[in-house]
């Protein structure tokens, strides 16, 4: 099966209004200048920017998503935001279960699953993140950890149309370190097999690699079997750094 690649940028807690507008305008122009774009391009900015950037990107090859959501549609949850609200603001994807949420906010896989199901209920696409720590990798626990996270985080009703899996080894995020291509290929093959036992149409679910993806290693990573795109952190903050990664999917 031919899977359309997804190159997604996670801006995390970065981006003020003026500079972010410029970034999206440049990205929209580059995608238009490229003509036919053979991959999906996604930027997930902070909540404060979703509405304005979605308006700017409307009708282009660039989609706007969000970095998290609450599991409930509404209610007494001060400081939280629902998937329905993000859809209303123009988001088309929502990241859930990023390692920084799992670690900094102590989110369990059960909580991630609830959020992912809220994303699907809102009619959006959930990007479910999984990945092991350095200690877990050194202890030979990578596949068992990733497998358990998928089992417990995968939303009911997951399909190729509404769910993306992003493998992000925690120890590689923002460190400049990356697993070897063989390591990445092994984990992605395992994820594909695991999904096959959990949901129909697993061969069409896009599997993204994340963890210090940059222009210098994107070609090699994106050429691997079962790697259907990338979830990019720091390199997505500047168009000149992000676009060469996008080009690996075009």
CB contact burial 17-34 (16+ within 10 A = b; e otherwise): eeebeebbeebbebbeee
The per-residue pLDDT for range 23-63, each reduced to its tens digit, is 999 999 999 999 888 999 999 999 999 999 999 999 999 99
Catalytic residues: 98, 168
pLDDT at residue 173 in the model:
86
Tell me what pLDDT residue 219 has: 95
How many CB atoms are closer than 10 A to CB 198? 12
Q: Domain segments of the chain: what residues? A: 6-247
Give pLDDT, residue 36. 84
DSSP run (H or E) holding 128: strand 125-130
Question: pLDDT at position 120, please?
Answer: 98
Start-to-end C-alpha separation, the chain: 17
Q: Residue 160 and residue 136: Cα distance in Å, rounded? A: 29
According to the model, what pLDDT value does residue 175 have? 84
Rg (CA), the chain: 17
Token look-up 């990023």 returns: 98
pLDDT at 187: 98
Range 6-247 has CATH code 3.20.20.70: yes
User: Residues in the chain with pLDDT < 70?
Assistant: 1
Of 231, 26, 234, the residue nearest 125 (C-alpha): 231
Q: What share of the chain is helix, strand, coil (3-state, %, to 5)?
A: 45, 15, 40
């Amino acid at each position: 099966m031919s899977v359309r690649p997804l190159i997604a940028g996670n801006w995390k807690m970065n981006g003020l209004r003026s500079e972010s507008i410029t970034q999206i305008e440049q990205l929209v122009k580059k995608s238009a200048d490229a003509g036919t774009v053979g991959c999906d391009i996604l930027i997930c900015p902070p909540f404060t920017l979703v509405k304005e950037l979605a308006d700017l990107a409307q009708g282009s090859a660039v989609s706007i998503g969000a970095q998290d959501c609450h599991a409930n549609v509404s209610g007494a949850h001060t400081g939280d935001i629902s998937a329905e609200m993000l859809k209303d603001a123009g988001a088309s994807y929502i990241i859930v279960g990023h390692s920084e949420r799992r670690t900094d906010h102590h989110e369990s896989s059960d909580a991630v699953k609830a959020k992912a199901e809220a994303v699907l209920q809102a009619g959006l696409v959930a990007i479910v993140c999984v990945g092991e720590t350095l200690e877990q990798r050194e202890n030979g626990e990578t596949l068992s950890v990733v497998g358990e996270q998928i089992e417990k985080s995968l939303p009911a009703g997951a399909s190729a149309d509404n769910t993306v899996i992003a493998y992000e080894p925690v120890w590689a995020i923002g460190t400049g370190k990356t697993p070897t291509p063989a390591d990445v290929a092994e984990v992605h093959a395992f994820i594909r097999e695991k999904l096959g036992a959990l949901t129909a149409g697993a061969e069409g679910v896009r599997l993204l690699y994340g963890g210090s993806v940059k222009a210098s290693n994107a070609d090699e990573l994106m050429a691997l079997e079962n790697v259907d795109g990338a979830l990019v952190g720091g390199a997505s903050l500047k168009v000149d750094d992000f676009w060469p990664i996008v080009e690996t999917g075009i």
